[in-house]
Structure 1
Amino acid sequence: MATSNELRVVNGSGKVSTFKLTDSSLLISRDPKKTVDVPLKQVLWAEHAQDTLHVHFLARKSKKGSLSLVKASGRIFPADKSAVDAWIDALTAKAYEGVKQRRRLKVLVNPHGGQGKSVAIFRKKVEPILKAAHCTLDVTYTTHSKHAQALAKDLSLDFDAVVTVSGDGLIHEVINGFAEHAQPLKALNIPIAPIPTGSGNGLSCNLLGVKDAFDVCAAALNAIKGRPMKTDLFSFTQGNTRRLSFFSQAVGLMADLDLGTEHLRWMGDTRFVVGFLRGIAKLSPCAATLSVKVAESDKDKMLESYRKVRDAAPPPPEAESESEGALPPLQHTSPGKGDDGWVTFDKPLLYVYAGQGPYVGRDLMQFPLSLPDDGLIDVVAQELTSRGDMLKALDGAEKGGPFWLPTQHYFKAHAYRLTPRSKKGCLSIDGEAYPFEEYTVEVHPKLGTLLSMYGRYVDDFKMQKPQ
């Protein structure tokens, strides 16, 4: 006999299966020795039709494997039919606790992103998961550069989220489209959920963690059940041009290895390692002057503050802002006069890398102390040093090891400005190429919105300070 927590069905083999609901899991038992434990967050939907129960969920075939879509079905016991609806309601309520069901999603697919497999991945893996969760999908396949930006500029504000099937470049377009929207602050309240199919998928590393960084099924689950998480955005100004950046800005070695390996997209994110090794072989100085409006530069103090925030429980999702009006005004278009916190870096540079989100790729945790909404940007100034020192930096790079290099200077900043002293060089903004000219970046606290299953970035910075 069914209860509010347990339901019996006859599976396709004619054997009895039991579906048992607990506070944290759905337990599916085919016999006493075979029980599948499905975390409730991975349950997508349950329904019954013509006396048959169907439960859709995501599961791993192995402990280290990726998630995949599973449908468990069975014929309902006649004696249990009267309790089925109540059981399904109980399961769905727990599986979607605090999260809206049947989200309405705007999906943008870039057919040319990364290795050119975005369309196939979306249709084969992602779309079936979103449909299993009964999401309403409005899908557009982008056809040209800045197509996503144009779509975001005129996007209806009633979508629950924008899902980008590509790399970080498409997110850059969407955010800048939101900035041009007739109601930019409301548009920027629409959460973005990336599906990692590009060659640069740094945001997915930070939202999903390194283990699931390229798991498109885990990313689809985030689009279905992630909660809105406010994040700082950055104004990038160059001459009379203002753009928003959500992820990173790079000059010197780090920009060269990104933009200089576009022809190696077929390698996936391995191309960045190849680019790094090429850059170390050349070891070209970065001819630029860096000025920073510093909030903190003491690594020990920054680490202590970071740990206090990370040790605390993630804050609950903020209520959706009803803000009207334009983007925040610029405050730091030029370094102020006198002692107001602006510092000029006075050592020869190999690269400058600034941004937010600990990981810039699976192999490099460049900003280990980054927080989504601390109102600051993390700025790394790497001194020109020996090839041997830079090769040593590869050891533990995926865990934030370079943070402790004496030649790697780390700032928490309100703003910074970079002035090239040469006409030759690369500038990468969120992985996109920009003119190698003077620019300023400043922080806008909590201007952007992402979806997150965790309410924070997923990282693991445990590298101890060398003795």
Structure 2
Amino acid sequence: MTTVPVNDDDPFKDPSLASSQAQQQTQPDVPPGSTLAVGRNASLTLGTDSLIVLDEGFAVSRDASNCCGLLPNKNKTTRAIPFFHILWAELVEWDITIRYAQTVSKDVVRVAYVNYTMEKTDREFVEAWVEKLLDRAYGASQRQKRIKVLVNPFGGKGTAQKLYVREIEPIFAAARCEIDAERTKYRGHAVELVENLETAAFDVIACCSGDGVAHEVFNGLAKKKDAARALTQTAVVQLPCGSGNAMSLNLNGTDSPSLAALAVVKGLRTPLDLVSITQGDKRTISFLSQSVGIVAESDLGTEHLRWLGSARFTYGFLVRLIGKTLYPADIALHVEIDNKPGIREAYSHETSQAPPTHDPRVIPPPTDGLPSLKYGTVNDALPESWTLVPHDTLGNFYAGNMAYMSPDANFFPASLPSDGCLDLIRIAGDIPRLMAVKSLLAIEKGTFFDMPHVNYAKVSAYRIIPRNQAHGYISIDGERVPFEPFQAEVHRGLGTVLSRSGHLYEAKGVC
């Protein structure tokens, strides 16, 4: 029989997928809807989007242990397990075991299993059926990911270690992922760990933390001699265990640790724009956002109100809106799209595309570090095509690389993972107080983008020079940096993450 050749030069190819392709040439074909008899009164069927488990024992059993981990219901003999929730399936001797993520509440899934001892039958067909189930369960996603886990025991409320052990690790283990977990010990530790990490040994670096550790991981990868290669090969993900979980909200569609773990297991490799920030003599990498003005001050200037939780941001935002606080600055932009209809059209075009089936990028050579800066640094002369424009009444300067900044704050609904742009919002600080309050409410309602006083543009680079203030707040990915001029430049698709769609954020867009 013929087999499918395996391209050993492609590090993005899932070895289990290559193996399954070869097996499909030597095993019986399993058509959609195939049913596997697993006992006199039980069967497993590959449905349209779920595994259908039929067992007459369900109808008489009220004991969950007799239902192979499935919730009992004496009135039904079938259960449907979405393929997305299937973690692993295997045939050992004549025992077939299927592990899956069982929904126990709106925000929690737990590992459960279906297990049957089969009568001896056509083993080749059974093995092919199991392989077909895994194909349906994973699609274009890599199976058995090799995951380096970084747990920040100090983030959020200090519960990251407990959340990892209880909510996340069981999901990874049931999916047969290879796990290497390590705790960070101090601020900046993740940068050091990742800079010295043998990244070729891992497919994913998972941050059990808030967004801060993900920021450190990207900067650790950026410090490596083969930075371009490392950032392309190794996906960075966030498992929400901190006070700020924007990365997980955007890519996993949740701030639940167990649901995020499931999303990572099934996540598709997704190119992500990264942003070089130059300030003084320092160059850092940003993956999430940069802010000057009301957003930065509402976040960083309310650290003493952490006991309020996420409400401290709303409180700080409202106080400064009502006070008509101004943050004057001079700003120069490299604009890609400067009008909302054009932005809406660009977003609509991307959402109409079919999900990718593979990562299309060329692997950089091991000699490539970070890309050079097209527009120089903040210390260089302003590029000839740029014009520095005074913003005397600036209230908010907010540039985002992702849509959600918190669960109820979809600030950048037109944002895309890899369009080569930052979405930039500018709002005057002297707008009427009633309009300012309406702006805050509009963010949660999803009508913020269309408000006429919200200046929304897509830019690929900018320089901002704050003025008339001795002290203030500048936030890069939620981290405070010196209150000094800085410049930003987007590198399209330089980084890698895992997402559910492979090319979009899990946020309501503008189309």
Same topology, TM > 0.5: yes
Matched, 1:7 2:36: yes
Quote the residue 1:205 is aligned against. 249
Per the TM alignment, residue 23 of structure 1 is displaced from its structure 2 partner at its CA by: 4.5
Alpha-carbon distance between aligned partners in 2 of 1:49 and 1:267, rounded to the nearest angstrom: 52
Cα distance change, pair 80–276 in 1 and its aligned pair in 2 (3 A): farther
Quote the residue 1:442 is aligned against. 489
Alpha-carbon distance between aligned partners in 1 of 2:134 and 2:492, rounded to the nearest angstrom: 35
Letter in 2 for 1:327: L
Letter in 1 for 2:166: K
Quote the residue 1:216 is aligned against. 257
Cα distance change, pair 284–232 in 1 and its aligned pair in 2 (3 A): same
Quote the residue 1:95 is aligned against. 137
Matched, 1:410 2:438: no
Cα distance change, pair 74–241 in 1 and its aligned pair in 2 (3 A): closer
1:288 aligned residue (318, 329, 343): 329
Letter in 2 for 1:433: R
SS in 2 for 1:113: coil
Cα distance change, pair 233–415 in 1 and its aligned pair in 2 (3 A): same
Contact 2:142 2:268 in 1 (8 A): no
Letter in 2 for 1:41: F
Per the TM alignment, residue 51 of structure 1 is displaced from its structure 2 partner at its CA by: 5.1
Alpha-carbon distance between aligned partners in 2 of 1:410 and 1:26, rounded to the nearest angstrom: 45
Matched, 1:274 2:315: yes
Matched, 1:19 2:67: no
Alpha-carbon distance between aligned partners in 1 of 2:176 and 2:306, rounded to the nearest angstrom: 34
Alpha-carbon distance between aligned partners in 2 of 1:250 and 1:346, rounded to the nearest angstrom: 15
Alpha-carbon distance between aligned partners in 1 of 2:133 and 2:354, rounded to the nearest angstrom: 26
SS in 1 for 2:441: coil
SS in 2 for 1:395: helix
Contact 2:424 2:456 in 1 (8 A): yes
Alpha-carbon distance between aligned partners in 1 of 2:222 and 2:420, rounded to the nearest angstrom: 19
Q: For each residue in 1:278-314, what CA deviation from the matched residue of structure 2 results, as whole angstroms up to 9, or x when unmatched?
A: 3334432113222212222111222122212222223
Letter in 1 for 2:154: H
Matched, 1:372 2:414: no
1:428 aligned residue (475, 496, 500): 475
- Give the 5 Å matches for 1:156-305: 156=198, 157-189=200-232, 190-209=234-253, 213-305=254-346
Letter in 2 for 1:91: L
**324-333 or 108-117, larger mean C-alpha shift:** 324-333
Alpha-carbon distance between aligned partners in 2 of 1:395 and 1:16, rounded to the nearest angstrom: 56
TM-score of the superposed pair, with normalisation by structure 2 = 0.82
Alpha-carbon distance between aligned partners in 1 of 2:96 and 2:274, rounded to the nearest angstrom: 45
**28-37 or 245-254, larger mean C-alpha shift:** 28-37
Per the TM alignment, residue 268 of structure 1 is displaced from its structure 2 partner at its CA by: 4.3
Q: For each residue in 1:401-436, what CA deviation from the matched residue of structure 2 results, as whole angstroms up to 9, or x when unmatched?
A: 222222221121121111111121101100001011
Alpha-carbon distance between aligned partners in 2 of 1:329 and 1:445, rounded to the nearest angstrom: 13
Contact 2:153 2:160 in 1 (8 A): yes
Contact 2:141 2:269 in 1 (8 A): no
Letter in 1 for 2:47: T
Quote the residue 2:80 is aligned against. 37
Alpha-carbon distance between aligned partners in 2 of 1:317 and 1:81, rounded to the nearest angstrom: 34
SS in 1 for 2:435: helix
SS in 2 for 1:235: strand
How many matched pairs?
451
Quote the residue 1:458 is aligned against. 506
Per the TM alignment, residue 264 of structure 1 is displaced from its structure 2 partner at its CA by: 4.1
Per the TM alignment, residue 253 of structure 1 is displaced from its structure 2 partner at its CA by: 0.9
Cα distance change, pair 27–266 in 1 and its aligned pair in 2 (3 A): farther
Contact 1:108 1:139 in 2 (8 A): yes
CA RMSD of aligned residues (A): 2.4
SS in 1 for 2:449: helix
Contact 1:54 1:71 in 2 (8 A): no
**86-95 or 301-310, larger mean C-alpha shift:** 86-95
Matched, 1:344 2:389: yes
Alpha-carbon distance between aligned partners in 2 of 1:462 and 1:374, rounded to the nearest angstrom: 15
Quote the residue 1:152 is aligned against. 194
Quote the residue 1:123 is aligned against. 165
Matched, 1:111 2:121: no
Per the TM alignment, residue 38 of structure 1 is displaced from its structure 2 partner at its CA by: 1.8
Contact 2:288 2:402 in 1 (8 A): yes
Alpha-carbon distance between aligned partners in 1 of 2:149 and 2:405, rounded to the nearest angstrom: 24
Alpha-carbon distance between aligned partners in 1 of 2:320 and 2:210, rounded to the nearest angstrom: 23
SS in 2 for 1:233: strand
Cα distance change, pair 316–336 in 1 and its aligned pair in 2 (3 A): farther
Alpha-carbon distance between aligned partners in 2 of 1:315 and 1:92, rounded to the nearest angstrom: 19
**Misfit runs of 4+, over 6 Å:** none
Letter in 2 for 1:197: C
Quote the residue 1:386 is aligned against. 432
SS in 1 for 2:319: helix
Matched, 1:398 2:444: yes
Cα distance change, pair 409–6 in 1 and its aligned pair in 2 (3 A): same
Per the TM alignment, residue 78 of structure 1 is displaced from its structure 2 partner at its CA by: 2.7
Cα distance change, pair 336–314 in 1 and its aligned pair in 2 (3 A): farther
Cα distance change, pair 365–383 in 1 and its aligned pair in 2 (3 A): same
Alpha-carbon distance between aligned partners in 2 of 1:89 and 1:312, rounded to the nearest angstrom: 29
Contact 2:53 2:80 in 1 (8 A): yes
Quote the residue 2:65 is aligned against. none
Percent identity, aligned pairs only, is 35
Cα distance change, pair 312–102 in 1 and its aligned pair in 2 (3 A): closer
Per the TM alignment, residue 42 of structure 1 is displaced from its structure 2 partner at its CA by: 1.6
Quote the residue 1:306 is aligned against. 347
Q: For each residue in 1:344-370, what CA deviation from the matched residue of structure 2 results, as whole angstroms up to 9, or x when unmatched?
A: 254511111002111111111111111
Per the TM alignment, residue 263 of structure 1 is displaced from its structure 2 partner at its CA by: 3.8
TM-score of the superposed pair, with normalisation by structure 1 = 0.90
2:179 aligned residue (137, 140, 143): 137
